[in-house]
Structures are given as C-alpha cells and as structure tokens.
C-alpha cells in the first residue's frame, strides 16, 4: 500500500528545519546548509552533481532510500522557488536547472494557477491550488503502488503532520543549533497525533530518526 513519507529531512537538535531569512541567495535560510551537510558528502549527492566519488556509509544509504520506491513528490511553493504572489511569468523553472532530481510527477502547493511544467529526466511539476488533501489525492494516483515523498519545506510538512496525513517520517538529525528559523514541531504534539519513534541509526554526520503513525 502506498504511503506518504517524509525522508532525508534535515533537522537541528533544537528542532529547526530551515534557517531564518530565506531568499534566492539563502534558499535554506541563514545557516540552513548546516542541516544538509550530512548529505553533501554522500556518493548519492556527488553523483547527482557529476562526480564519481563520495562516501558510501550509513548516510549514503539513507540518501539512497530517499529515492527508492517513490512515484510522486509533494512540494511547498518555497521548495519550488522564491517567487511570491501571482506568477509574473513562467520564467522560473525551479532551483535545479533543466533536470531536477525528482524524475516523477512533483505536485507543488500554491494559491496561484500555473500550467504543468515538463522538465528533462521525467520530472513534471504540477501546480495544485485546492489544498493539501487534493495534492495528496493527485500524488497518490500518480504514484500507483509506489510511495509519495513529502519534500517540504517546513510549513508544508507541518500542515500534513497536523492533519495526521503522514505515515512515516525520517529525520536526519544534525548536531548543530540554529537558534532561529522554522521550527518543525512548534506547538505540535506529535505524540497526541499518534506518532512514535520506531528506529534510530547513527550515521557519519547525522543521526537518522524514524517516526511512524500508530495503526
């Protein structure tokens, strides 16, 4: 059965999933890249950027699992780009160049309609204006018997978490303190929502924590 999963989500030990003052020069916010430093050294990441080296330990395996059995993605608008309000035109095509890393349909939450955008490598951005449940329904249909990966950002994960729609979450907990930014669990009682910690693995640069929703 298909699941909605959060995977490879970088999180500081004080609960932040992005730094403050996000802008085109700081898409993860100030100090935000520290959350993803565990990924930048892996073979998965290095191969995506045209290199043949990279580490192959626990962190790399977690990165690999983040792309396995995924048939569709859901992204918040911030994950697609820094453009705010109505789309001025269709010149912005995402952070990743002509070939994004998704390679399957990616459903982007937005308040403003936009035509689907086909990219190289099989990614097609589809823009959803009627809410998180509609995006999930469309993504599940597109994924078939594979899973839907909820890519973020923090606000989007919080919405799905508060609605109890996420089946499993994988956090890459980094030993850093951001002190400010977007706090994933602020005012959210995940235990009351039915989530529990089911697994923990220590990687080279992150501790991988898995939460599942109780049946």
Domains in the chain, start-ordered, CATH in brackets? Answer: 4-16+31-80+147-213 (3.40.430.10)
User: Is residue 73 classed exposed, middle or buried when 0-12, 13-18 and 19+ CB atoms within 10 A define those classes?
Assistant: buried
Give 62's contacts (C-beta < 8 A, 6+ positions apart): 8, 170, 172, 201, 203, 206, 208
- Whether the pLDDT of residue 22 is over 90: the answer is no
Q: What is the pLDDT of residue 84?
A: 86
- Whether the pLDDT of residue 23 is over 90: the answer is no
Q: How much is the mean pLDDT over the chain?
A: 95
Using one digit for the tens of pLDDT, what is the confidence trace for 40-99? 999 999 998 889 999 999 999 999 999 999 999 999 998 998 888 999 998 999 988 899
pTM of the model: 0.94
Q: What is the pLDDT of residue 215?
A: 80
CA distance 3 to 165: 9
> What proportion of the chain, given as a percentage, has pLDDT over 70?
100
């Amino acid at each position: 059965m298909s699941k909605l999963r959060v995977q490879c989500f970088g999180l500081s030990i004080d609960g932040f999933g992005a730094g403050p003052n996000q802008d085109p020069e700081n898409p993860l916010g100030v100090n935000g890249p520290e959350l993803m430093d565990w990924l930048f050294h892996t073979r998965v990441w290095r191969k995506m950027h045209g290199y043949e080296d990279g580490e192959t330990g626990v962190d790399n395996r977690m990165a690999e699992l983040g792309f396995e059995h995924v048939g569709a993605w859901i992204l918040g608008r911030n994950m697609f780009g820094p453009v705010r309000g109505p789309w001025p035109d269709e010149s912005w095509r995402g952070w990743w160049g002509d070939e994004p890393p998704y390679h399957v349909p990616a459903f982007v939450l937005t308040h403003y309609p936009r035509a689907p955008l086909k990219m190289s490598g099989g990614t097609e951005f589809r823009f959803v204006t009627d809410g998180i449940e509609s995006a999930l329904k469309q993504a599940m249909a597109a994924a078939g018997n594979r899973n839907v990966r909820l890519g973020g950002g923090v606000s989007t994960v919080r919405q799905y978490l508060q609605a109890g729609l996420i089946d499993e979450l994988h956090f890459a907990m980094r030993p850093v303190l951001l002190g400010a930014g977007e706090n994933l669990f602020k005012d959210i009682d995940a235990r009351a929502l039915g989530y529990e910690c089911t697994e923990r693995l220590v990687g080279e640069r992150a501790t991988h924590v898995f939460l599942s929703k109780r049946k």
